[in-house]
Amino acid sequence: MELVSTSALRARLAAGGFAVTAEISPPRGASGDPVRRKADLLRGWVDAVNVTDNQGAHVRLSSMAGSMVALSAGLEPIMQMTCRDRNRIALQSDLLGASALGIRNVLVMTGDHPKFGDHPGAKPVFDLDSIQFLWAARTMRDEGTLMSGRTLNPPPDCFLGAVENPFAPPAGFRAERLGKKVAAGAQFVQTQFVFDVPAFGEWMSQVHDLGLHERCHILAGVGAIRSVRAMEFMADNVPGVYIPEETSRRLRGVPGDRVAEEGARIAAEVIQQVREIPGVAGVHLLAAGNEAAVPGVLSAAGLGLRDTVTGDAVAGDSHGR
């Protein structure tokens, strides 16, 4: 008897559709209302939404609680899990908890170092790296065992995601690193911000050479920059974000009150360009606190409101499980 996942994201990807995901950062406070408000903005426009895990190592409402709020607001969550704050006991435990609560998508990442956050003196955990945790999560789901070998009853049901930065050195190893993640268990991947489409295309061709697009759904990260200050902040303070000269020139070349518009235009163009690259299965809108811009960018890129893909599509598709 096959287990039918209720992940709509998985259903969309399995059906060969072009997936759209976005991102919600939970608030610094003990209320789910901000998550609910952001979910209201995004519902209907995206297949699922990432709920970040104390991003930038700044304390926020937990990603599991935020995911539950999104789920109850009718928006499918992708729960982000970093290896920064939890050892292997807590990671496995939270994966079970998320599954029990009906959170069907989990995105595994190493996580920013505490040094960059609001508690720079915190102990960096990194007991597992993202690849080891993907491996553990897949083993838990598919073999029904913990890392210790003890059996799970029932095992968790999760669609496993990873992240990759196509632009970071060493350039020759980035596609291979994705390959390691896929071998470990990643079923979909969201990339870091794509501004430099030719460089992204170069990485995608390496991904093709390794056959990874056949084994993993690749979503290109796209974001609308809303001000020159935001751009400078991202370039200087967010590890792994590269903004090419061309993008910078375009944003600086318009009057201050038109930068957000130009940023949204660039994002829409990037979406249209990456869609043409074979093997790109969708886009991931990195909002950077600008969730309200997402619908505009998507409609400018020709991605209107989503039709619903039901779990039935999974049952009928051999990619499903």
Partner 1 sequence: MPKEAAEPHPIRPARPRLAPRTAYLLQRVLAPNAFYRRLAAAVERFPVLRRLFTATEKRAKEPLFGCRMCGQCALPVTGYACPMSCPKELRNGPCGGVGADGSCEVHPEMRCVWVVAYERAASQGRPGDLRRLHRPVDHRRWGESAWLNYWQGREDTLWTTEDVLSPALRAGEPSAAGADEPAPGEGEPGEVQTGELQWNS
Stretch that binds partner 1, among 69-77, 93-101, 171-179, 255-263 (CB under 8 A): 171-179
Q: Is 233 in the site for partner 1 (CB under 8 A)?
A: no
In the block, tokens 């209201």 appear at 40
Binding partner 1 (rule: CB under 8 A), the pick from 149, 198, 255, 256 is: 149
Contact 49, 22 (CB under 8 A): yes
Binding partner 1 (rule: CB under 8 A), the pick from 154, 239, 289, 302 is: 239
> What pairing do the DSSP bridges indicate for beta strands 105-109 and 188-193?
unpaired
Which residue's CB is nearer to partner 1, number 210 or number 300? 210
Q: How far is CA 253 from the centre of its chain?
A: 31
DSSP label at residue 140: I
Binding partner 1 (rule: CB under 8 A), the pick from 37, 43, 58, 138 is: 138
- 3: helix, strand or coil: coil
- Token duo for residue 238: 């967010």
What's phi and psi for 254, nearest 5 deg?
Answer: -115, 155
Binding partner 1 (rule: CB under 8 A), the pick from 28, 215, 229, 258 is: 215
DSSP label at residue 308: P
Cα separation, 43 vs 49, in Å, equals: 9
Contact 122, 112 (CB under 8 A): no
In the block, tokens 């608030």 appear at 27
Stretch that binds partner 1, among 21-29, 63-71, 138-146, 247-255 (CB under 8 A): 138-146
* Mask for 267-306, x = binds partner 1 (CB under 8 A): -----------xx---------------------------
Binding partner 1 (rule: CB under 8 A), the pick from 60, 104, 213, 284 is: 213
Q: Which of residues 187-206 bind partner 1 (CB under 8 A)?
A: 187-188, 192
Cα separation, 94 vs 236, in Å, equals: 33
Angle, helix 259-275 to helix 245-252, in steps of 10 degrees = 150
Smallest gap, in angstroms, from Cβ of residue 116 to partner 1?
Answer: 6
Q: Is 145 in the site for partner 1 (CB under 8 A)?
A: yes
Q: Is 226 in the site for partner 1 (CB under 8 A)?
A: no
Smallest gap, in angstroms, from Cβ of residue 30 to partner 1?
Answer: 27
Cβ-count burial 49-66 (b if 16+ within 10 Å, e if not)? bbbbbbbbbeebbbbbbb
Q: Is 316 in the site for partner 1 (CB under 8 A)?
A: no
Q: Is 217 in the site for partner 1 (CB under 8 A)?
A: yes
| End-to-end CA gap in the chain | 10
* Mask for 102-131, x = binds partner 1 (CB under 8 A): -------xx-xx-xx---x---x-xxxxxx
Cα separation, 189 vs 120, in Å, equals: 29
Question: CA torsion, points 236, 263, 304, 315, in degrees to nearest 10?
Answer: -20
Binding partner 1 (rule: CB under 8 A), the pick from 4, 147, 199, 292 is: 147
Smallest gap, in angstroms, from Cβ of residue 7 to partner 1?
Answer: 12
Contacting residues toward partner 1, per CB under 8 A: 16, 88, 109-110, 112-113, 115-116, 120, 124, 126-132, 135-136, 138-139, 142-143, 145, 147, 149, 160, 163-165, 167-170, 172-173, 176-177, 179-180, 182-188, 192, 208, 210-211, 213-217, 236-237, 239-240, 242, 278-279, 318-321
